[in-house]
Structure 1
Amino acid sequence: MTTGALITREPVVNQQRAITANRLIVHAPNFATALQTLEMHRQYWPTIHPVFISFGRLVPTPELLDWQPPENALIEIPAPAMQYPQIQELVLKLQAAGVPLALSWYQPGTPWPEQADCRFVLADQAKVTSPAGAPGISLAWGLADVQAFADAVERGYAGAAGWFFLKGVTPAKELAPSHAQIVRLLNLVRNDADITEIEAALKQDVSLPYKLLRYINSVGFGLMVEVQSFRHAVTILGRDKLNKWLSLLLVSASRDPAAPAVMQAAIARGRMMELLGAHLFDKAQHDNLFITGAFSLLDVLLGTSLDVVLDQMTLPGSIRDALLHDDGAYAPFLRLAVASESFLPDQLRAQSEALGLTVQQVSAALLQAVAFADTLSFG
């Protein structure tokens, strides 16, 4: 496997658990490789939200001054390195160059130059009970679940980085009526029902046609013409391609105001799988890869177990095998997408090597997936 930097990611959310930024962790043997990787993939850079860039265990070097970060990037400076005068000097030079900065692994008493603006401070909440006195907006890290996030907010944190919102959900035994209606709609399309019948099902919830057309006409889809109706969508896309976009209706069906962060994660998983599997599967299966990733968080989004949802859906066996049994042709790609959400790269590297993928392919797909998910509005 080609040597280089791997990138993993996690979201940054505010007190309402709405995404406010993406955090990229660059795992590289040195700064030259890390910066080369970021520059190589600049064309795929997510631009909707600010992007925190963490260089993991690397101590910042003056090489940072020779690199022009994307406009929405914030460079993280690890707090342990701030004890060194040369790092404090580097911070001042980055400040003078107009590079937005954040402080990670904050501990009370960490020195920070008064002349430098610190936008955000990330702290391991297990080690820093209260962020009072931090030089920037405080974000908790290392949270176990949603309740731990609530506790951190109570202790003064303004938000958090990480995947805590995927944990601590108690599944229900059946689908809510609004979710069941979308499942029925998906089954009609899968079973090649008459367009009139599908349209009638679509119109039973007035928000569904609007949301479907909004997704199809999003920047991420890249159509040259604006789709005006469901019939128009069938003409332009074909029924098979519609399965992918109708799946977004189910992924975005949660009424929970905090759900958009989970929706973004689900869509990013699906898009990453689709991109990485493109050269290994025929085109007919690309959308199934996307749907597998997108549906992998339905239990969190809909508040019910995956088997309850999938038992009511007409889906290819390959999707069901991956989601329910971690088996089949799509399962390794789902494992890889999930591994990209870890702060540490070991599992991602192992999954990439098992599939014969280079670090360049994986990092490019991750950035494209995040950028794609961010183009969809889940409000």
Structure 2
Amino acid sequence: MTATAETAQPARASLELARQVILDDARTVFGYELAAGTEPARGEQIAELVSHALALCASKPLAERRVLFLHCGPEALDSEHLALADATRIVLRLSLPANPDAAQLAAGAARLAELRQKGFRFALPHDVLATAWHGWLAQADFLLLDVTRLPAPALAGVVKLARQHKPRLLACGVPDDACLRSLRQLGIDLFQGPFFSRPVPVPGQKMRPSQAAALQLLSLVRREADVGEIEALLKRDTALSFQLLRFINSGAFALQGEVTSLRSAVMVVGMHRMMRWSTLLLATAGDAPALGHHAIVRGRLMELLGAELLPPDQCDQAFVTGVFSLLDAMTGVPMKTALEGLGLPIAVTDALLDQKGVFEPFLSLAQACESGDAEAFARDADRLLLSGRQINMAHLQALAWAEDLLTR
């Protein structure tokens, strides 16, 4: 394709990897979008993004269960680096060239068709519903409906028009549950946006029994209660017991031999590490699996970012901080209320309640990796003396680790 005003912009020297979760109608993780911050990858960034996708596809649970959307500029169609990609594992989410002429549109459509023959799939913005873009639309597998650019009164008409074509619809930029409900009523079943991780405290809301049990376990661990007392709590909650043993025996934690009893689990893991297991149990105890998944990735990312900067006990606390940073969203209970009586380390509560202390820059950086906030990414990387490469590698490892943990 010929370079346009949009494609001719100079590429940044390195890619600040950002991840957004794509959910299905059951609020489970359908896939991830990987991008250069909030922008599509361009120039050499495309090679880096493809390389990151290859690294993630090496994780069998992730490769088999999730779809990876790579957000790229239209010049990706001519990138030699696509030859390295596993076409069956990725979807190219393309931005469109600016003001193309008829010849450029035809050349782009022909290239899309050529790559489709090689197994590539494409996600294109709803702009391709315009007649001039129908050659591109014919090659699309997903059609992206950007609700931040579509007035609510026009949305139903756009969806009706889109239904006349074959691509699956994916709503982007979904801000809240009210918008989500409207989109579901229109028959859309894939969603992306900040709605799922925003806390929505409900007056008088109480935690689910499984969440309360996980918090009670955490409280017992924090005060180093007798092993028998912890075992008794676990025996009262069969689901909690099963999940704990499943986590401990997962490939994410290399233990010698299989742990089969609750008492053995506590003895083998130790009281210090039980705090970590309790945190994992809480993240998976609710009825919003994607949110718990998201929290675990955030916690693991914070732990990995701190691996060379913090002592081991604080790395564990960084993990807890990351997971608990979504506690209000997971439980529907205000953060301060949810934390009462847990006796968490002061450094953890400082980060969660007051956005200060040793874990604050780690939490801020992890959130920047999710939002694509390039300014926060650069600021927090500088504060922690971490390179973009270190952060990106930790991000990829956290994603793969969470998939391995949660699929066993």
Structure 1 length normalisation: TM-score?
A: 0.89
Q: For the Cα contact (< 8 Å) 1:3–1:359, is it kept in 2?
A: no
Task: Specify the alignment match of 1:72 in structure 2.
Answer: 89
Task: Specify the alignment match of 2:45 in structure 1.
Answer: 33
Higher alpha-carbon deviation: 284-293 or 166-175: 166-175
Percent identity of the aligned residues?
Answer: 30
User: Residues 163 and 225 (structure 1 numbering): CA distance in 2 closer, same or farther, change over 3 Å?
Assistant: farther
Bigger radius of gyration among the two: 2
SS in 2 for 1:267: helix
Task: Look up the equivalent residue of 1:131 and give its one-letter code.
Answer: V
- The answer as to 2:131 corresponding to 1:138 is no
Q: For the Cα contact (< 8 Å) 1:190–1:243, is it kept in 2?
A: yes
Q: How much does 1:174 deviate?
A: 6.4
Task: Specify the alignment match of 1:215 in structure 2.
Answer: 247
Task: Look up the equivalent residue of 1:119 and give its one-letter code.
Answer: D
User: Residues 183 and 142 (structure 1 numbering): CA distance in 2 closer, same or farther, change over 3 Å?
Assistant: same
Q: How much does 1:302 deviate?
A: 0.8
User: Residues 3 and 60 (structure 1 numbering): CA distance in 2 closer, same or farther, change over 3 Å?
Assistant: closer
Task: Specify the alignment match of 1:121 in structure 2.
Answer: 143
Task: Look up the equivalent residue of 2:117 and give its one-letter code.
Answer: A
Task: Look up the equivalent residue of 1:39 and give its one-letter code.
Answer: S
Q: For the Cα contact (< 8 Å) 1:81–1:87, is it kept in 2?
A: no
Q: 1:158 aligns with which of 169, 189, 200?
A: 189
Q: 2:68 aligns with which of 51, 54, 62?
A: 51
Task: Specify the alignment match of 2:7 in structure 1.
Answer: none
SS in 1 for 2:376: helix
Aligned partners of 2:323 and 2:99: how far apart in 1? 41
Aligned partners of 1:371 and 1:223: how far apart in 2? 19
Task: Specify the alignment match of 1:194 in structure 2.
Answer: 226
Higher alpha-carbon deviation: 198-207 or 67-76: 67-76
- The answer as to 2:287 corresponding to 1:265 is no
Aligned partners of 1:8 and 1:43: how far apart in 2? 15
Q: 1:15 aligns with which of 10, 17, 25?
A: 25
Task: Look up the equivalent residue of 1:6 and give its one-letter code.
Answer: E
Higher alpha-carbon deviation: 267-276 or 169-178: 169-178
Q: How much does 1:107 deviate?
A: 4.8
Q: 2:236 aligns with which of 176, 181, 204?
A: 204
Residues 217-245 of structure 1 show CA distances to partners (whole Å, capped at 9, x for unaligned) of 22333445322122222343222112111
Aligned partners of 1:373 and 1:147: how far apart in 2? 29
Q: For the Cα contact (< 8 Å) 2:202–2:333, is it kept in 1?
A: yes
SS in 2 for 1:52: strand
Aligned partners of 1:332 and 1:354: how far apart in 2? 7
Show structure 1 runs of 5+ residues with no match. none
Comparing both structures, which one devotes a greater share of its residues to helix? 2
Give the RMSD, CA atoms, in angstroms.
Answer: 2.6
Aligned partners of 2:125 and 2:144: how far apart in 1? 5
SS in 2 for 1:182: helix
Task: Look up the equivalent residue of 2:114 and give its one-letter code.
Answer: K
Aligned partners of 2:281 and 2:129: how far apart in 1? 45
User: Residues 113 and 219 (structure 1 numbering): CA distance in 2 closer, same or farther, change over 3 Å?
Assistant: farther
Aligned partners of 2:83 and 2:273: how far apart in 1? 41
User: Residues 101 and 82 (structure 1 numbering): CA distance in 2 closer, same or farther, change over 3 Å?
Assistant: farther
Q: How much does 1:273 deviate?
A: 0.2
Q: For the Cα contact (< 8 Å) 1:125–1:142, is it kept in 2?
A: yes
Q: For the Cα contact (< 8 Å) 2:20–2:370, is it kept in 1?
A: yes
- The answer as to 2:351 corresponding to 1:349 is no
SS in 1 for 2:141: strand
Task: Specify the alignment match of 2:116 in structure 1.
Answer: 95
Aligned partners of 2:397 and 2:366: how far apart in 1? 13
Aligned partners of 2:135 and 2:366: how far apart in 1? 39
Q: How much does 1:168 deviate?
A: 6.2
* Mapping for residues 154-303 of structure 1, pairs under 5 Å: 154-167=185-198, 169-173=200-204, 175-176=206-207, 178=209, 179-254=211-286, 256=287, 259-303=288-332
Residues 309-328 of structure 1 show CA distances to partners (whole Å, capped at 9, x for unaligned) of 11120211110100011010
SS in 2 for 1:203: helix
User: Residues 103 and 222 (structure 1 numbering): CA distance in 2 closer, same or farther, change over 3 Å?
Assistant: farther
Aligned partners of 1:343 and 1:280: how far apart in 2? 23
Aligned partners of 1:211 and 1:12: how far apart in 2? 25
Q: 2:79 aligns with which of 38, 56, 63?
A: 63
Structure 2 length normalisation: TM-score?
A: 0.83
SS in 1 for 2:130: coil
Q: For the Cα contact (< 8 Å) 1:7–1:25, is it kept in 2?
A: yes
Q: For the Cα contact (< 8 Å) 2:112–2:136, is it kept in 1?
A: no
Q: For the Cα contact (< 8 Å) 1:171–1:299, is it kept in 2?
A: no
Q: How much does 1:374 deviate?
A: 2.4
Higher alpha-carbon deviation: 239-248 or 22-31: 22-31
Higher alpha-carbon deviation: 315-324 or 240-249: 240-249
Residues 131-187 of structure 1 show CA distances to partners (whole Å, capped at 9, x for unaligned) of 234341011111210111111222342221122122361344564362333222111
Task: Specify the alignment match of 1:313 in structure 2.
Answer: 342
Show structure 2 runs of 5+ residues with no match. 1-11
- The answer as to 2:370 corresponding to 1:375 is no
* Mapping for residues 358-373 of structure 1, pairs under 5 Å: 358-373=387-402
User: Residues 200 and 160 (structure 1 numbering): CA distance in 2 closer, same or farther, change over 3 Å?
Assistant: same
- More contact order relative to length (CA 8 Å, sep ≥ 6): 1
Aligned partners of 1:365 and 1:357: how far apart in 2? 11
Task: Look up the equivalent residue of 1:189 and give its one-letter code.
Answer: V
